[in-house]
Amino acid sequence: MSSLLSALNPEQLEAVTLPHQSALVLAGAGSGKTRVLTTRIAHLIQSGQVSPHGILAVTFTNKAAKEMLTRVSSMLPINTRGMWVGTFHGLCNRMLRAHHQDAGLQQAFQILDSADQVAVIKRILKNLSADDAKFPPRQVQWFINSAKEEGLRAYQVEAYDDFTRNMAEFYLFYEQQCNKEGVVDFAELLLRSYELLTRNEHLREHYRGRFNHILVDEFQDTNRLQYRWLKLLAGDHAAVFAVGDDDQSIYAFRGANTGNMKDFERDFDISKIIKLEQNYRSHGNILDAANTLIRNNSGRLGKNLWTSEGHGEPIRVVNAPTDFDEAAFIVDEVKSLHAEGVALSQIALLYRSNAQSRVLEHALFNASLAYRVYGGMRFFERQEIKHALAYLRLIANPHDDNALLRIINFPVRGIGMRSVELLQDDAKRHGGSLWTSMLQKCSTRTTFIPDSGDGIPARFEGSGAAGKPTRKGVEGFAELIESMRRICKTLPLPGIVEHMLEHSGLAAHYHAEREGAERLENLNELITAATSFVHEIEDDSLVAFLTHASLEAGEHQAGSGQDALQLMTVHSAKGLEFHSVFLSGLEDGLFPHDNSRNEAGGMEEERRLMYVALTRARRRLYLSFAQSRMLHGQTRYNIPSRFLREIPDNLLKWLQPVQKAATRNQEWGVRKQGPSREPGYGMQPRASNIQDSAASPWRVGQNVVHAKFGAGVIVNCEGHGADARVEVKFRAGVKWLSLEYAKLTSA
DNA sequence: ACAGGGACGTTAAGT
DNA sequence: ACGTCCCTGT
């Protein structure tokens, strides 16, 4: 047991070994948060305070949930099956599947992702002939989801104006449509589960009795409904162990409510917040910068990161004339870092908004540097995969109108818009699903019209009636789905997928398409996904697989496995760390973003975002800005970010202003000591005097040999220990080299 | 059925 | 600048 606890610092130890009581752990960036969470779970079990059965641990991402399970299992040789570890949505789904009847759901209910949800809303708006200029589908979606996150059903929405009344009406129709089809959206998983526990005392008491310990990761990201769900589930007896960092709350825009932390203190009688402030990630200068910056925010719970390691290198600041030059600088610097031995995958290029990646990618591409951009299309979101899933959904539940509409004429089988509209009208009249209408039409026809044997009813030949010839297509489609449903009852999951791909015509379609090779490959990958799903998961049903596809959209972009630079927004960098970080586009308007100016608390959220960005770097941090930048087809002239001014000068080292690319002919170097002011920039850059070469065997003037650059002479030294660096003049130019990585020999 | 043109929007993103 | 979405014309 003590082996579990031996490596913890006092605060971590206190958190891990806390008795059965609710607690709030304020866990700074890089302070060992996950370690504390997982060690506590292991400790609780090992010391016999709770069985795995009594533990519920909730996170926001599947990745975090998986990580937690892996780490717990590595600490304890126990079966983690009894534990409820997962995302809010995953756990709610688990609960709703187990009690689908009590929750008013069919067993095979399917989950809509955001795109599916918009599709449903569009259909409803069209159906109601709503003015789509006045009511954009995405706004309706936002309204519905916000209402659900406040725990409100359509009839509970308070509407004092026409606009809201309309919105509430759309919500109502949407609700009815989802119920009819047997589908739920993400917010619905939470709300249903919450309502189930509220209404069903028996179930509530069951789960309250079961979960003695509830652990919450990234607590600052919880929304109101999630908080209420936790509170409801905890009741009076469970100990809720909430871990979070108010300074890293960057998701207010999607409903995260930092107020939950203060509510939690009050509602759960938290007498003392445990603060994890020792940072195991970054060097001192980086932490000082982050600490100083974030102190400008008000209403913090308060926290100051520290490290037992040294100050490390100064933070480098770069002023570039254009975004193009900024990118060129970054590429050069990345190259030399790489040459010094830093793996590309340990270098991150961060930016505030996705549009900024373009110019960086362009420069990287020209320099033939391997890179990987986060945030692209995910596996289960690809068009061909969505089509395939739509077929699978119909197999599981043919009343899923959304799925039906997606593939009723894909691949094309001669079902035009006209036929689809007729079906929709019919379904609307009868209040049933499209599938029901379809079957009725087909059966009506076969009853009244004898089939001539070739599949084409004699009576229709040459009839020329506008809508009628398409019926054959509809009928063929109905038969296709029915036969797939029949046959798939007898097949194992991968077999179902394979059969569907073959008989739907999807495989043939992409096979014939000129650019379809990759799509076809993805479809085959879907069979693989089904196969591994069957091997890994205890439930190998089609419904379980579809649920998996909805709740886990898959990898962001298949990491080719090769060593590559990491490009991503600051938001997606949260939780990650890198040896070196380049934070680009530090300009007012970009970061902080213009749109945040008018939002309540917007600037403070931007500052927290900046705080997240800074604390990603372990050893080296570059901050850069451009005086002009091409954005949305226009050149913008920005001033450096106010956040740059909030970092103490003595932590910064201003690199020589980058020259215009066209006239650039010298290497990047350190600005000479002395007063300097960027004209028109209102900042006082100061050359760093962090320098310590006393203990170093290297001195200025020494001749050295580098494995790659050849012979050179040291012209400058800085840093100490693992962070000592020297500036060497080679034939090819002047380079800064990290002594930790560069293979330098004395000559 | 499908290509092509025009309007539009363009902060961040998990489930 | 660029991608997407929807409509229109062939």
- pLDDT digits 0-9 by tens, A181-225: 999 999 999 999 999 999 999 999 999 999 999 999 999 999 999
| Cα-Cα-Cα-Cα dihedral sign, residues A415, A418, A419, A420 | positive
Mean pLDDT of the A473-491 span: 91
**Å between CA of A572 and C1' of B13:** 8
CA distance A646 to A296: 8
Closest nt to A631 (CA→C1')? C1
Q: Is the pLDDT of residue A36 over 60?
A: yes
Q: Which nucleotide is nearest to A115 (CA to C1')?
A: B15
- Using the CB atom, is residue A358 less than 7 Å from strand C? yes
- Answer yes or no: is A633 CB < 7 A from strand C: yes
Q: What is the 3-state secondary structure (H, E, C) of A263-305?
A: HHHHHCCCCCEEEECECCCCCHHHHHHHHHHHCCCCCCCCCCC
pLDDT of residue A385: 94
Q: Is the CB of A172 under 7 A from strand C?
A: no
Q: What is the pLDDT of residues A706-715, one digit of tens each?
A: 655 556 666 5
Q: Are the C-beta atoms of A334 and A566 separated by less than 8 Å? A: no
So what's the pLDDT on residue A80?
84
Q: Which tokens sit at A344? A: 């590309």
Q: What is the pTM of this model?
A: 0.84
- Check whether A457 has a pLDDT greater than 50: no
Q: Which nucleotides of B are covered by protein (CB under 7 A)?
A: 1-2, 10-15
Q: Is the CB of A431 under 7 A from strand C?
A: no
Half-sphere exposure of A58 (CA within 13 A, CB side): 26
Pair of tokens at residue A617: 């770097």
CA distance A537 to A525: 18
C-alpha–C-alpha distance, residues A217 and A431, integer Å: 43
Enter the DSSP assignment of A578.
Answer: E
- CA A415 / C1′ B2 distance in Å: 15
Cis peptide before A450 (omega within 30 of 0): no
pLDDT score for A639 = 96
Our measurement of CA A400 to C1' B3, in angstroms, reads 31
A513-543 per-position pLDDT tens digit: 877 888 899 999 999 999 999 998 878 899 9
Please report the pLDDT score of residue A665 as a whole number: 37
Residues near A306 by Cβ (< 8 Å), separated by ≥ 6?
A: A277, A278, A279, A284, A287
Using the structure, give the distance in angstroms from the CA atom of A130 to the C1' atom of B4, rounded to a whole number. Answer: 28
Q: Residue A746 pLDDT more than 90?
A: no
pLDDT tens, position by position, A92-144? 999 999 999 999 999 999 999 999 999 999 989 888 888 878 889 999 999 99
User: Which helix (H) or strand (E) is A485 found in, with range?
Assistant: helix A471-488
Of A78-82, A135-139, A701-705, where does mean pLDDT reach its minimum? A701-705
* Interface residues 565-594 of A with strand C (CB < 7 Å): none
The strand pairing partners of A621, in sequence order, are A581
- d(CA A86, CA A98) in angstroms, rounded, equals 16
Measure, in angstroms, how far nucleotide B2 C1' is from residue A414 CA: 14
Average pLDDT of chain A is 86
**What is the pLDDT at residue A686?**
30
- Strand C contacted by A134 CB (< 7 A): no
- Are A1 and A43 within 8 A, CB to CB? yes
Residues whose CB is below 7 A of strand B = A 60-63, 87, 89-90, 113-114, 186, 253-254, 352-355, 374-375, 409, 412, 414-417, 551-553, 556, 568-569, 571-572, 593, 595-596, 599, 602, 605, 632-633
Read off φ and ψ for residue A678, nearest 5 degrees: -75, 120
A122 touches strand C (CB under 7 A): yes
Whole-number distance in Å between A600 CA and B13 C1': 20
From the CA of A359, how many Å to the C1' of C9?
37
Residues of A annotated catalytic, as ranges? 33-34, 217-218, 248, 616
pLDDT score for A687: 31
